[in-house]
Amino acid sequence: MSDSTNTDAPARSTARGRFRFREYHVTTVPDTLALPTVAAECVTGEDRNCGATSGPLHTPDELTRWIAGHCAATGHELYEQTTRTLLCAEPGAWQ
């Protein structure tokens, strides 16, 4: 049956089905050969964020030093931290 207000619209199918999906179990483990990275962005500001970013760093100490330097230069006190790690997927079995 088509829509009487829009004659170009395709008719909707009234057939419905039930779908069952199997679960695929995957576990993830950190890649031991890759260094995790941390980064920070200064989000201090009333009208808009400062937006200064540290770029990717490899240790929390490096990140703390960058934040301390930016805070000393600008007085900004609020930062958003991002941590990135490479993961390896280890597929499991279908169930």
Q: What is the DSSP string of 14-74?
A: ----------EEEEEEE-TTS--EEEEEE---SSS----B---BSSHHHHHHHHHHHHHHH
**38-61: pLDDT as tens digits:** 999 999 988 889 999 999 999 999
Q: Does any domain span residue 3?
A: no
Q: By residue range, what is the domain housing residue 42?
A: 36-94
What local confidence, expressed as pLDDT, does residue 23 receive? Answer: 67
**61-79: pLDDT as tens digits:** 999 999 999 999 999 999 9
| Cβ(58)–Cβ(35) below 8 Å | yes
What local confidence, expressed as pLDDT, does residue 22 receive? Answer: 64
pLDDT interval class at 28 (50, 70, 90)? confident
Q: Does any domain span residue 73?
A: yes
Q: Does any domain span residue 44?
A: yes
Q: Does any domain span residue 5?
A: no
User: Among the ranges 5-9, 19-23, 86-90, which has the highest mean pLDDT value?
Assistant: 86-90
- Split into its structural domains, the chain has a count of 1
